Amino acid sequence: MSRVYLSLGSNIDAKHNIQAGIQVLNQQFGTLQLSPVVESEPVGFIGDHFINLIAILETERPLPELSKQLRQIEYDFGREHNAPKFSGRTLDIDIVLVDQLHGVHFGLTLPRKDLFEHGYMLYPLSLMEPALVPPGQHKTTQELWDSFPFPEQKLWLTELPSAI
């Protein structure tokens, strides 16, 4: 059984799509553990604010199968196959960590590099698991957040409109 950390994000009907995405993930994987929810300005383009959080699931699915399944959920939510990297998202699901895997596994770099570069991933993870030391790191997520080198990334805690 693998412990998988996902980053969920949306800036198109964001609160609705995040809630609906969590419901789909709960149906397919069982009840997820969820971090606090953050809102942030987009990075790399002008657009609506993003809603982001970290979700943890436990699965026995092989990583390639899991990755394909998550990509299909994104497509089911209207993600375009060739959407530019820096653009709006109805639902974005990224695999951030898998157990203590470090390096490239089935085409995925773990931990995901964005975790250490984007507050919308690191901040909710540090709130959820402050003592976690990500693979390849020597600091906890709380220590990484406390020394986060990109203060220009504005983000704040928010809530979804109803319980999930």
Residue 58: HSE in the Cβ half-sphere, 13 Å Cα cutoff: 4
Q: What is the pLDDT of residue 142?
A: 97
Q: What is the pLDDT of residue 32?
A: 96
How many other CB atoms are found less than 10 A from the CB of residue 125? 26
**Domain residues of the chain, as ranges?**
2-158
Q: What is the pLDDT of residue 84?
A: 64
CA angle 88, 90, 93 (to 5 degrees): 100
Q: What is the pLDDT of residue 45?
A: 78
Q: What is the pLDDT of residue 43?
A: 75
Kindly provide the residue ranges of all beta strands, DSSP E only, lying in 66-154, ordered along the sequence: 92-98, 103-105, 108-110
Tens of pLDDT, residue by residue, the chain (164 residues): 999 999 999 999 999 999 999 999 999 999 999 999 999 988 777 889 999 999 999 999 999 999 999 999 999 999 877 766 667 789 999 999 999 999 999 989 999 999 999 999 999 999 999 999 999 999 999 999 999 988 778 899 999 876 54
Token pair listed for 132: 């976690």
The third-level CATH classification (topology) of the domain covering 2-158 is Alpha-Beta Plaits (3.30.70)
Q: What is the pLDDT of residue 151?
A: 78
Q: What is the pLDDT of residue 160?
A: 87
